[in-house]
Amino acid sequence: MLLLRCPYCGVDCDETELSPGGEAHLKRFGPGSEDADFEGYLFQRENPKGVHFERWRHANGCGKWFHAARCTVTLEVFGTYSAQLTEPPQDIKDAITAKRPGWHWREFA
Amino acid sequence: MKRYSAFAIAREALRDHMGWTRAWESPEPRAQYDVIIIGAGGHGLATAYHLGKEHGITNVAVIEKGWLGGGNTGRNTTIIRSNYLQDPSAAIYEKARSLYETLSQDLNYNVMFSPRGVIMLAQTEHEVRGYKRTAHANALQGVATEYIGPQKVKELCPIICLDGPRYPVLGGLWQARGGTARHDAVAWGYARACSDMGMHILQKCEVTGVKTQNGKVTGVTTSRGDIGCNKMGIVVAGNSGHLAEMAGFRLPVESVALQALVSEPIKPCMDVVVMANTVHGYMSQSDKGEMVIGGGADGYNNYTQRGSFHHIEETVRALIETFPMISRLKMLRQWGGIVDMTGDRSPIISKTPLEGCFINCGWGTGGFKAIPGSGFAMAELMATGRSPLAAEFGMERFREGRFIDESVAAGVAH
């Protein structure tokens, strides 16, 4: 059972209280964009075996969206942060580097 | 390879069973093969088998990081059916189902194919309409299914409760020649047949990198040394994204955990497979008497082969409404497999941006039933560059918007 802390209401909630929202920090492409960019935005995913960034919603709680940094191999949670951020904050990156030296995820490392 | 037969059993019985040989060889890797298949699960081994059988390519290595059949091939609920709505899906799954009919004879290995029949329950008005539509589509596709009423469902499966508290059984989609098979035996049978053709099955050999030259694949680096190849097939289900990263391209795939569980063994009580997609649970009885139960997948990326406990609770809670007699059963074992879900919930059998590299993935929550057809199509694609069965399953369909939308057709991941 995953336990994530909602960065808005501060509650430690288990996954039945949350809705998973898929990969985080997608760059959106709309009308007028290249086919390859649009395909990438809609379908292609990092799907990493290791460090991953995701969107979650505190559905049965405050209802707000937030971000989580997680390891898909060990289910370890490195931290959660605001949905307003376009990339992981430095303290989360540092927490990951401490435990997974040399990690990479798209352009964030 | 010594053929298995009633005569062979009698002969071995007379000499203390000392004459049986290993079902497949465990050779040292060669430096170079014509074809490398990564992943010795059902799909990978079936691909190798059909490369040899139909296309005469036998200088093949099937590379496996663990032991063969140890991934999703050994973790599924063994259901075989082909009652799909869309033409490309019905074609490949029906090809697979028809190959399963004679697989034991073809491989000279008993895969225990049991065409006991599959019912997909209709428990809402929408499902009634959906399954009637599927039955009509199947009639046009040449897949033998029929829509049946609730009394026929009760006749086929007496332990079912038609007037469930939330979702009464209104009817069902019945495929009489669907059923189950012994999942491990499918992998073992293919492995034995491949080994007999001179192919190498390299277990405990993990691929750590893909070697390329001028945009073309030339080999792999593995935990047992470098191995060269002319063509490479990636058939690794949940780890597809990981291998694609090594090969330098991205996939429209996400890996999630799907769970199954079995109960304590009980006397025979149901001789069909029942799937209830509205409440999301499915059940059949194994030859040992265990009730084999499957349910929903987790909603988030995961490589742990475990899965979340609350999914078991949801699945079992739903099934108890439809099968009240299982409420006192103890559950014996639970396990998870990592399934690769594509954007349209249909598989990918495709060339890739890397020349000479092919990929077969995205079977998601329903790969076991497709193994022989998937192997047949993948082998044809790898050998000749083109396969009518695989034509619609290319990965370019996501860019071109030609989805095979079984997710909507099935109502759930399928």
Give the CATH number, domain containing residue A71. 3.30.2270.10
Query: Cβ of B309 and A1 within 8 Å?
Result: yes
What is the Cα–Cα distance from B249 to B121, expressed in whole angstroms? 40
> What is the number of residues in chain B?
414
Among chain A residues, the shortest Cα distance to B253 is held by A45
What pLDDT, in 10s, does the model give residues A46-94? 999 999 999 999 999 999 999 999 999 999 999 999 999 999 999 999 9
User: Do the Cβ atoms of B270 and B85 come closer than 8 Å?
Assistant: no
Chain B residues near any Cβ of chain A (below 8 Å): 239, 241-242, 245, 250-255, 298-304, 308-310, 342-343, 398-399
CA atoms within 13 A on the CB side of B226: 6
Inspect the interface and report whether the beta carbons of A49 and B242 lie closer than 8 Å.
yes
CB contact under 8 A, B251 and A45: yes
Q: Is residue A56 part of a domain?
A: yes
How confident is the model at residue B413, as a pLDDT?
Answer: 52
| pLDDT tens-digit map of B172-200 | 999 999 999 999 999 999 999 999 999 99
* Structural domain for A53, as ranges: 3-99
User: How far, in Å, CA of B92 to CA of B378, rounded?
Assistant: 11
The β-bridge relationship of strands B225-234 and B32-38 is parallel
What is the DSSP code (8-state) at residue B280? T
How far is the C-alpha of B188 from the C-alpha of B200, rounded, in Å? Answer: 14
Give the mean pLDDT per block of 10 residues along chain B (414 residues).
92 94 95 98 98 98 96 96 95 97 97 97 94 96 97 97 91 97 98 98 97 96 97 96 93 93 96 91 95 90 89 91 94 94 94 97 94 98 97 95 77 52
Interface probe for A, chosen from B242, B305, B399, B404 (most Cβ of A below 10 Å), is B399
8 A C-beta contact, residue A93 and residue A100: no
Q: Does domain B118-177+255-342 have CATH number 3.30.9.10?
A: yes
Helix (H) / strand (E) containing B230: strand B225-234
Contact A1 B239 (CB under 8 A): no
Q: Report the residue from B299, B303, B308 with minimal CB separation from A1.
A: B308
Position A45 pLDDT exceeds 70:
yes
Residues of A in contact with B254 (CB under 8 A): 22-23, 45, 47
Asked if A15's CB is within 8 angstroms of B308's CB, the reply is yes
Q: ipTM for the complex?
A: 0.92
Query: Hey, what's the torsion of the CAs at B155, B161, B166, B171, to 10 degrees?
Result: 0
Residue B69 phi, psi dihedral angles, 5° rounding? 70, 20
Q: Do B254 and A45 touch (CB under 8 A)?
A: yes
Backbone angles phi, psi at B344, to 5 degrees: -110, 10
- Position A18 in a domain: yes
How many domains does the structure of chain A reveal?
1
Shortest CA distance from A18: residue in chain B: B299
Q: Is residue A89 part of a domain?
A: yes
Please tell me whether residue B400 adopts helix, strand or coil conformation. Answer: helix
Query: In chain B, whose CA is at the least distance from the CA of A71?
Result: B302
Of B241, B298, B304, the CB nearest to A73: B304
In this structure, is residue A106 part of a structural domain? no
8-state DSSP, B24 = S
Q: Does residue A107 form part of some domain?
A: no
| DSSP alpha helix (H) spans, B286-345 | 309-322
Q: Within a domain: residue A43?
A: yes
Chain A residues whose beta carbon lies within 8 Å of the beta carbon of residue B297: none
Q: Does a structural domain hold residue A49?
A: yes
CB contact under 8 A, B251 and A47: yes
Q: Are B309 and B263 in contact (CB under 8 A)?
A: no
3-state SS, residue B414? coil
User: What pLDDT is stored for residue B411 in this prediction?
Assistant: 46
The CATH code belonging to domain B28-109+182-252+344-400 is 3.50.50.60
**Rounded-to-integer distance, Cα B126 and Cα A4, Å:** 36
Q: What is the pLDDT of residues B215-242, one digit of tens each?
A: 999 999 999 999 999 999 999 999 999 9
Tell me which amino acid residue B394 is: G
**Residue B99 CA neighbour count, 13 Å, CB half:** 22
Mapping DSSP to helix (H, G, I), strand (E, B) and coil, where does residue B258 land?
strand
Domain locations in chain B? 28-109+182-252+344-400, 118-177+255-342
Residue A108 located in a structural domain: no
Closest CA–CA distance from residue A28 to any residue of chain B (Å)? 15
The chain-wide mean pLDDT, for chain A, equals 94
What count of other Cβ atoms lies within 10 Å of the Cβ of residue B148? 18
Amino acid at A57: R
Q: CA B407, CA B404: separation in Å to the nearest integer?
A: 8
Distance from CA of B240 to the nearest CA of A (A): 9
Q: Considering only CB atoms, which residues of chain A are within 8 Å of chain B?
A: 1-2, 15-16, 19-20, 22-23, 35-36, 38-40, 42-49, 52, 54, 72-75
**What's the gap in Å between the CA of A91 and the closest CA on chain B?**
23
pLDDT score for B407: 72
| Cβ <8 Å between B399 and A39 | yes
DSSP secondary structure letter of residue B333 = E
